[in-house]
């Protein structure tokens, strides 16, 4: 009799244990990192572990299924979702190294996002259902997935010009993903080294290339001509950097035209290589009042200078009067085209600061010196302003009168400014003239 009672008690204990936990025993085979079609379709487990999708370096989407009649049949406050672990191959609620992810959807087939994951790491996971009493637990089969490992490649720089270059890189992850919280860019140097050093060299943040989620680029400007630069792409996640292999490029050589021939910059007109009255490209030449071809009118009264709307085709065109037919003063629009269609780099040419203006189509260049201007004095003399000052500047006349007859349009340059000015100084000031070839 006692034996029968013991057998019955043991049986009831087993039944109670199964009814309370319904736990899957430790996996009897290696967990799967793929979708098990047979298990998904035929399993009678209350909680069925499904496939993983959208795996990135930091997240994954987990899919599960509940074999229940209806949600109304479940006790109130029943929860379901996944248990996941990077260290425990048998993840269970409250298990060591385990995290529970609750499903927020009342659906028999449900998904949960596992976020904040570690890069290049295997994660074990299983679906579960726990009733409100906290004791009845249903567990699905254990499976696993591995998050992506970040990598970055440095690719060839292009285009490369005299003063600028565009560097390119490629990431193993999608950079336009709203969930991406890292940074891409480049480390570069002109030190003659095979590999830049993060402690001494320059960083520049990159931007995602148009219509491409994994490629990125960054443009460098104000580079030195004929100089080798070494660069590496990087991908930064939190505080960790991932580096591409170092590559290098060499900027083009700067060749400033200095002859009397016009320079073809690929624009609608050709520009002279030097100012009117200058023997070399870096020299100021003659400072002219607007519409004074002689350069000898030093009157401070704007009324002593022409008031025509344009100097073109008139006796007042400084370029035509000094260089002959075929040359003329540049118009407002021609200066605008020069600014818009060429690369401008502040540089020093033969000990003179100014702008190298470089064609984007053929690499040819002219130099505009920041050689100041001539300020009228009360006694009708002039004082040269801008020579030897800390911030060199320069002014160049256009052929166009401003809407105010006292003023004419001019180009102003310094290291921070390239601008067409309508109202700055009046026509009595002496500015430089850079001619163009008449069409």
CA atoms within 13 A on the CB side of 240: 8
Pull the structure tokens for residue 271: 């520009």
**pLDDT tens column, 363-408:** 899 999 999 999 998 777 888 887 666 789 999 999 999 988 899 9
Tell me which of 313 and 105 has the higher pLDDT.
313
Q: What percent of the chain has pLDDT over 70?
A: 91
User: Taking Cα atoms as reference points, which of 278, 268, 258, 270 lies closest to residue 396?
Assistant: 278
Structural domain spans, the chain: 18-146, 152-250, 302-437
CATH of domain 18-146: 2.60.40.10
Pull the structure tokens for residue 324: 């002959």
In angstroms, the CA 147 to CA 211 distance is 25
**Are the C-beta atoms of 326 and 260 separated by less than 8 Å?**
no
Strand (E) or helix (H) holding 170 = strand 165-171
18-146 against 152-250: fold identical? yes
> DSSP strand E in 206-339: where?
207-208, 215-220, 228-237, 240-243, 247-250, 327-328
Tell me which of 18 and 39 has the higher pLDDT.
39
pTM of the predicted protein model: 0.61
**pLDDT tens column, 241-255:** 999 999 999 998 888
Position 193 pLDDT exceeds 90: yes
Q: Is 227 exposed, middle or buried, given 0-12, 13-18 or 19+ CB atoms closer than 10 A?
A: middle
Pull the structure tokens for residue 197: 């050093």
CATH of range 152-250; options 1.10.3720.10, 1.20.1340.10, 2.60.200.20, 2.60.40.10: 2.60.40.10
Q: In the chain, how long is the greatest CA-to-CA distance?
A: 136
């Amino acid at each position: 009799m006692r034996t029968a009672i013991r057998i019955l008690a043991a049986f009831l204990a087993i039944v109670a244990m199964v009814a309370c936990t319904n736990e899957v025993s430790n996996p009897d085979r290696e967990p799967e990192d793929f979708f098990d079609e047979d298990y998904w379709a035929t399993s009678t487990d209350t909680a069925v572990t499904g496939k993983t999708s959208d795996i990135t370096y930091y997240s994954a989407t987990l899919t599960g299924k509940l074999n229940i009649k209806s949600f109304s049949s479940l006790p109130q406050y029943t929860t379901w979702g996944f248990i996941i672990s990077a260290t425990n191959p048998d993840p269970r609620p409250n298990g060591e190294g385990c995290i529970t992810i609750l499903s927020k959807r009342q659906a028999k087939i449900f998904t949960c996002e596992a976020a904040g994951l570690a890069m290049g790491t295997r994660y074990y996971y299983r679906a579960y259902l726990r009733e409100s009493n906290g004791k009845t637990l249903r567990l699905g089969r254990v499976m696993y997935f591995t998050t992506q490992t970040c990598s970055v490649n440095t690719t060839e720089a292009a285009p490369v010009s005299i003063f600028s270059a565009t560097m390119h890189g490629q990431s193993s992850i999608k950079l336009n993903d709203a969930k991406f919280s890292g940074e891409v860019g480049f480390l570069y140097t002109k030190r003659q080294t095979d590999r830049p050093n993060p402690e001494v060299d320059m960083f520049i943040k990159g931007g995602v290339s148009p219509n491409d989620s994994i490629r990125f680029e960054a443009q460098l400007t104000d580079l030195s001509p004929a100089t080798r630069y070494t660069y590496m792409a990087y991908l930064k996640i939190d505080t960790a950097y991932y580096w591409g292999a170092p590559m290098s490029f060499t900027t083009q050589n700067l060749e400033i035209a200095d002859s009397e021939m016009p320079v073809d910059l690929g624009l609608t007109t050709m520009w002279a290589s030097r100012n009117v009255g200058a023997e070399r490209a870096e020299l100021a030449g003659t400072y002219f009042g607007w519409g004074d071809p002689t350069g000898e009118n030093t009157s401070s009264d704007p009324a002593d200078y022409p008031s025509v709307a344009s100097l073109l085709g008139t006796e007042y065109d400084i370029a035509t009067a000094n260089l002959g037919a075929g040359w003329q003063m540049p118009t407002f629009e021609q200066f605008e085209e020069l600014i818009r269609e060429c690369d401008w780099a502040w540089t020093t040419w033969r000990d003179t600061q100014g702008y190298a203006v470089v064609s984007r189509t053929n690499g040819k260049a002219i130099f505009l010196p920041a050689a100041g201007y001539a300020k009228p004095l009360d006694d009708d003399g002039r004082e040269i302003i801008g020579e030897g000052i800390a911030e060199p500047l320069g002014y160049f006349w256009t052929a166009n009168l401003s809407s105010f007859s006292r003023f004419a349009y001019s180009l102003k340059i310094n290291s921070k400014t390239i601008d067409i000015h309508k109202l700055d100084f009046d026509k009595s000031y002496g500015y430089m003239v850079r001619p163009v070839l008449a069409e």
